[in-house]
Structure 1
Amino acid sequence: MTRDHVPPTRPAGLGVTPVAQGRSTLSWHASEDNVGVSGYEVRHNDRAWVAASGLSHVFTGLTEGIVNKFQVRARDHAGNTSIPASLTVSLEDVTPPGKPGTPVVNNLTGTSVTLSWAAATDNVAVTGYLVSLDQSSPVVVSGTSHAFSNLKEATTYHVEVKARDAAGNLSDGAAVTFSTKDVTAPSRPGTPVVSDLSGSSATLSWTPSTDNVAVTGYIISLNNGSPVYITNPRHIFNGLREVTAYTAVINAYDAAGNFSPGTSVTFSTRDATKPTQPTGLVAGNVSTRAAALIWNRSSDNVGVTGYEILRDGQFIDTTKDSTPGYLAIGLIAGNVYQFSVRAIDAAGNQSETSASVRVSTPPIGPPRNVRTSVRPTRIDLAWNRPEDAIGLLGYRIEADDFNGSYRKVETPAQSVSLTLLKASTEYTVSISAHDASQFYGEPLMLKVTTPAN
């Protein structure tokens, strides 16, 4: 029998499917042979020939996106093989990269942030990353970090990172949400206003601060003491010491811990302690118009500034200083008075009123040592002041014959002339001293007879 030396025809119509999960199918049209084709052999990138079944073959372990050379040849029963048919293609990369690591927020400020992430993997190679901020147009970066600037303070942002390969395949997005820091401090609070000030408490209020987000509260310290945190622009301090200077400093703060510049006010608590009650009040050197009062000195937590004088329960005067003495003037002769005193301090605190002292002014006595000079129609009189008389304003002189001849004269002097009298007439003459209150004292009485013409 003659041996078959004729090889089959070369396969035609080669085609290849895209790589999917490292697999691709090569197909071809049937070859012809003078006797008959017994099968086909295939190979990839000049590797060893392997037998194929039918008119196609599935290659595995392929890499997308690189140049691949596929070959197929027909074989007959005599072992003759055709000329190989070749197909060189760059298989399309349709496998997306793996998802990048979740972005990590670094170097966060009020206006910037740096994001970094673990690198993605790909069947071929990752060529870069698309980073988008709040669904804006993505930024393409080659590395595994990116910095955003010119952000808004205290604002929440959403960032998504996708890996990309040379074929344009995109991975699933890795996302993170962050908020920029609030780095703007609240405005300075208004200057505090002090109200309801007492010896042990004070109320402070001020115009509220403003903030780019919100004022959380205020921190207030007194004389550099432990701070107090409050939420409203008003605070009451209790348990303060009397007559003590305090400086309050107030700062506003927000939720981010930003503190405003401080505003301050200095105030002093009031003196709320009254002086002690004066004791030992006595009166001396009592005259018709005056009396000297003295008493034991009062004490005070700050200092007694003076004493208020009360006469018959009514305030009449205040001493000029803290000396425990007072000269009561303007009294009326022959009257009885009740004097008392109370101490005062610079804050206006009044002590309890002292026990009262009784003062009796003596009456105004009669003028003394009267001298007379008598003429038929005239009587000249002169006299000395009453004994111990103080504050006399004048004298009233009356002459009466009790028969129609009467004369009355008021004079500040200690002498007077009574004229237009009747001759050979007996007159009863009285001289009375009086003070500014028109209180008349005991009169001096005498009989004077005018001579005949």
Structure 2
Amino acid sequence: MPHLSTPVTLLAVMAATTATLGGCAWGGEDGKDTRPPAAPRGLTVQAGSATTAHVMWNQATDDTEVTGYEVYRDAEKVKEVPGGEHMVDVVGLKPSTTYTFTVRARDAEGNVSEDSRKLSVTTPAAAAADRKPPTRPAALKGEAEGSRAAMLSWGRSSDNRGVASYEIFQGGTKIHSVGGQQTATLVTGLRPGTDYTFTVKARDAADNFSPASGEVRLTTAAGKDSGRGTAPTGFRASTHSKDGAYYIDLSWTPPRTGGAVTEYQIQLDGRTATSLVFGGTAPQDKADHSFYIGRQSGERHRVKIRPKLPDGTWGGYSPERTVTTGRP
């Protein structure tokens, strides 16, 4: 069942708190920047092998400039990454071990953000004396999803001990990693009207890499499309009443991402109302959700949703729908 992380009734309190904080001064007496960056969002972690993990996050914001990121494994800082990057491979891990990762942003004055959310990952078991790499991923295909994303899919590789992960490359640069059971992924953060070349490699638990797949070349759509290629489709909204209370009912088809979409953000009447998080197995073909809106008949509301994609970024919003309580 899904759960709501921020009840709608808290919106007024949150808005008042934000207004109060907006009047605070962050500069020191000598004009020095003392305001820390925002905590990095969208953290994702994927075990790459028995001894490595791929950590990704969204670039943080700051009133001046984010100059670096600090990556922590449990309570220990294990990596420092320049401010222009937002991913890193953490090596030297132990097989069959669970690790918890967090990331902090740092600015030029040395101000450090709060921790990102914490994510845990368990490395696979070691493969003793394994020097045989996986086979090359076959039949890589790619399709632009609007102007800022692309959907990639490939044939499954085989390995004598099992594939631990697939590494996605843009040109010669690794940009993403997915689990060994996944053979498709949505790549985001692309530029409109731009040519891209992608390849994929399979990796096993002993850090053996397959040869690169064949290249796939594609061009993103020109112009701005507000991320519609990553938005839910078939979005519908209606209302129903029960015991004198009114509820808004939503249904939609999740976007294609290569993996499950477990979190959505609901926007109500032009403001972010809540996050919807599916526990257990998230729906992949059709999703639905119902939430309480009040006890007044004849109230008009606007609602739309957007998904959190597997790489931690937000997808595009669905079309906005309008409903009125007390009406079908």
Q: Same fold by TM-score, threshold 0.5 exceeded?
A: no
- TM-score (norm. length: structure 2): 0.32
Greater helix proportion? 2
TM-score, length of structure 1 as denominator length: 0.24
